[in-house]
Chains A and B, each alone.
Chain A
Amino acid sequence: MKPAPIVDPGTEPYWSGLKQKKLLLRHCRTCGKPHFYPREVCPHCHSLDLDWSEASGRGTIYSYTVAHRPAGPAYAEDVPYTIAVVELDEGPRLMSWIVGDKSGLAIGSGVRVRFEPLNEEFDLPVFELARDAS
């Protein structure tokens, strides 16, 4: 079984948002910048005045790797799988999987979010290549 996130009070809204098909970013009301993963203090300006905002779900591949050896037995049947660092249009980067048709996948490729269940309790934000011109 793949490891599930161990949620804490600071991250619970993020994981709840995913269940509602929303990718939430922590957003600083002082400097205006969003960040990922959600923190108690803005990593840019160190303000405590933070809110949540919904990301567009669009971004580009900042880097990726294809795992040919699994991260433990839980991932053995997925090999090879593509893990990327996605840079969201809003700026923050997050790790995810690239799923679906991966032909033409490259650094800089446009991607959009899709929500896939990890188990009954959690959804994960995965990405597929955006085939439109945007």
Chain B
Amino acid sequence: MARHEAVIVGVADEPLTNGKTTRPGSPLQIQARCAKAALAEAGLDLSDVDGLFTAGMWGIPGVGQLPTVTLSEYLGIRPRLHDGTNIGGSAFEAHVAHAALAIEAGHCEVALITYGSAQRSEMSRNLAGRPATLTMQFETPWGLPTPVGGYALAAMRHMHEFGTRPEDLAEIAVAARAWAALNPAATRRDPLSVDDVLAAPRISTPLGLLDCCLVTDGGGAVVMTRADNVRKDAAKPIYVRGFGQAATHWTIAAMPDLARLMAAEMAGRRAMEMAGVSHDRIDLVEVYDSFTITTLMTLEALGFCERGEGGAFVGNGRIAPGGAFPLNTNGGGLSYAHPGMYGIFLLIEAVRQMRGEVEAERQVRNVRTALVHGTGGTLSSGATCILSVN
């Protein structure tokens, strides 16, 4: 493989207990810990970092947010490349793409991507919308529970067009929980049935509490460098072979088709074309599961099944442990953790699976190529990465 290619050489996430960081910490503390741990895997340290990539829900109140500037000061580094791209929870897949471009063009040698949130400990989440300014003056006054209501509108339309059933969505939550049961680091590991999901309190019809991701703390970091810059003591490098991004709307009423995740269609197609892989070459899929409907629409949009057939596709244990289509193998945002933005955890799990270092019960055998897809906003943005072991 080409020596200048970008590789992922370090990943880390913050240990959680009952959804809170095991050691209390601010978002900056959490990111510092994750950065140090991921760099240690790579045989590197903060002094080696010359590219910093972050997105977050934290920030110093006031006009504008300067997350990479704040974080670089905190970490005591002076990167020559800053990227605070924030397209929602998919931002971290975009960061991997941007880091790969920068590394391969020689604009940075060691890229550090971070995320940190203490939203659960701080009890800073509720369902209220954003201030009713700019485009939100046409959405916030209606009191749509946010963000779940936007996904509910999509789910309702998908059910109308394709006959998708609440039971189909429930299968996704059940499969995620079954993976989480095999993952000691996951937040919710107790057994879950389709009936449990259907009986849970409704939040915004047709979605109920167990169709929704968790609200937890969390943090993560990913370290990338050039293939010929990998230290001898580094973890097994994972190649970034393809990437793509797209966004179609922000206010949910502007989504071009509520039953079709066009951002994932566009991003996924671009990433797969760039990597030169077809669906049958992909051994592992990790997709953003903010809500059960997100998973279903993403699988359709990425082309793993036909549009409208997602409900049938996820049934019969296909995406559960032991099924033919291993998906979200850490338990996902639905059962592992969801600290506001989840995209970095898709990357971390894919890398660990590809290195073959997760617990035996949930280790997918012989993963050579993985597809990671983040969704951001309210089904707004998508970013895909194709990762390869060689």
**Chain A residues in the interface with B (C-beta under 8 A):** 2-8, 11, 36-37, 62-72, 74-75, 78, 81, 83, 85, 93-97, 107-108, 118, 124
B358 contacts partner chain A, Cβ-Cβ < 8 Å: no
Q: How far is the CA of A8 from the CA of B132 in the complex (A)?
A: 11
B253 contacts partner chain A, Cβ-Cβ < 8 Å: yes
Q: How far is the CA of A75 from the CA of B252 in the complex (A)?
A: 19
**A67 to chain B: which residues have CB within 8 Å?**
143-145, 149, 203-204
Residues B258 and A63 in contact, CB atoms below 8 Å apart: yes
**A118 to chain B: which residues have CB within 8 Å?**
141
B129 contacts partner chain A, Cβ-Cβ < 8 Å: yes
Residues B203 and A68 in contact, CB atoms below 8 Å apart: yes
Nearest residue (CB) in B for A92 is: B253
B46 to chain A, nearest CB (A): 40
Which residues 133-187 of B have a CB within 8 angstroms of A? 133-135, 137-146, 149, 152-154, 156-157, 160
Q: List 30 A-B contacts (CB under 8 A).
A: A2-B141, A3-B140, A4-B132, A5-B132, A6-B137, A63-B153, A63-B156, A64-B153, A65-B156, A66-B202, A66-B205, A67-B143, A67-B144, A67-B149, A68-B201, A68-B202, A68-B204, A69-B203, A70-B143, A71-B127, A71-B143, A71-B144, A72-B129, A74-B143, A83-B153, A85-B153, A85-B258, A95-B144, A95-B251, A124-B141
Given contacts A64-B153, A67-B149, contact A11 B137 (CB under 8 A): yes
Nearest residue (CB) in A for B138 is: A37
B128 contacts partner chain A, Cβ-Cβ < 8 Å: yes
**B143 to chain A: which residues have CB within 8 Å?**
2, 67, 70-72, 74-75, 78, 81, 83
Q: How far is the CA of A7 from the CA of B127 in the complex (A)?
A: 23
Q: How far is the CA of A86 from the CA of B362 in the complex (A)?
A: 45
B11 to chain A, nearest CB (A): 35
How many cross-chain pairs have Cβ atoms below 8 Å apart between A and B? Answer: 116
**A65 to chain B: which residues have CB within 8 Å?**
144, 149, 152-153, 156, 204-207
A116 to chain B, nearest CB (A): 11
* Among B145, B160, B258, contact of A69 (Cβ-Cβ < 8 Å): B145
Nearest residue (CB) in A for B158 is: A63
Residues B141 and A5 in contact, CB atoms below 8 Å apart: yes
* Among A3, A63, A70, A108, contact of B141 (Cβ-Cβ < 8 Å): A3
**A83 to chain B: which residues have CB within 8 Å?**
142-144, 149, 153
B322 contacts partner chain A, Cβ-Cβ < 8 Å: no
B25 to chain A, nearest CB (A): 28
Given A3-B132, A70-B145, 19 further pairs, Cβ under 8 A: A3-B131, A4-B141, A5-B132, A5-B138, A8-B134, A63-B160, A64-B153, A65-B156, A65-B207, A66-B204, A66-B205, A68-B201, A68-B202, A71-B128, A71-B129, A85-B153, A93-B254, A95-B251, A95-B252
B126 contacts partner chain A, Cβ-Cβ < 8 Å: yes
- Residue-wise, chain B 217-256 has the 8 Å CB interface mask toward A (1 for contact) of 0000000000000000000000000000000000111100
